[in-house]
Amino acid sequence: MLETHDKDAYEISADAFEIIRRILKSIKGFNLDIYKEQCIRRRIAIRIRATHCATAEEYGELLQCNEDELDLLLKVLTIHVSQFFRNPPTFEKLRTEIIPYLLKVRGSAGKDRLTFWSVGCASGEEPYTLALILKDSFPAEVATERISILATDIDATILNVARLGVYGEERLPEAPEAIKRRWFRRENEKYHLLPEIKDMVDFKKSDLSCRDSFPESDLILCRNVLIYFERRQQEKILNGFADVLHKDGILVLGKSETLFGEIRARFYTVCPVERIYRVI
């Protein structure tokens, strides 16, 4: 038997779902078609209950006249929970093996810069973690501006939060104490990233459905993002990553994600446990 929230999600009729889809596309440019419908329906149901609408049709009418609710729905649809140093072994692998490898490859190829891309960065914990690792372990490379970090998300509001660089204790349970003392200023129970760390990350609004927006990269972190997309869209995104990664570039996925089908032929598995792959 379905749980109550699942049952509510499936009571969204095809007509009501289409109305909501059109509103999001026309007003916010957000395309529901590329995401897993079951997940989307559940998240729409959250807002239907929160607004006390009796039906999905009534909620669709609300969206047409209330842009604040449209923003709230978009926030629910794109929500990502993140932390600094989330899954510490992954970042330790990056610090001790992957980043040194990329620096060596770049040196051999005579390249001036490396570009690291954090996909679905939400409120910035992941790209800032990269910046902290670079600042702490690779200060010479950072000093000469030889590494750039790009962080993208579809939600412009959450990107503004990321740019502020202010976090509660709950976002830093895995952050080393030395890192917290050195690169954060604590004020009113909040941790404020120092400007020299914030300045290392460039935040931009970007939609993974738009392949032309993918930047050429040496390292792509796309962790716990693909799980929200339909399989066919996942293939398009992964092929896009393979296209823009420089020779011997690295892709890092989330622990619940993996390569599948024909896309596996485009990558070599570096570390199956941490879901780290090298483009071929």
Per-residue pLDDT tens over the stretch 51-79: 989 999 999 999 999 989 998 898 788 76
The whole-model pTM stands at 0.80
Q: Per-residue pLDDT averaged across 169-196, rounded?
A: 96
Q: Per-residue pLDDT averaged across 3-15, rounded?
A: 61
Q: Per-residue pLDDT averaged across 225-248, rounded?
A: 93
What is the SS3 assignment for 55? Answer: coil
Rounded mean pLDDT of the chain? 90
Q: Looking at per-residue confidence, does 25 or 167 come out higher?
A: 167
List Cα–Cα distances, 31 to 145, 176, 271, in angstroms.
36, 39, 33
Kindly indicate the confidence band of residue 80, based on its pLDDT and cuts at 50, 70 and 90.
Answer: low
Which residue shows structure tokens 């962080």?
151
Percent of the chain with pLDDT over 90: 69
Instruction: Give the pLDDT confidence score for residue 3 in this predicted structure.
Output: 36
Q: Please count the CA atoms within 13 angstroms of the CA of 185 that sit on its side-chain side.
A: 10
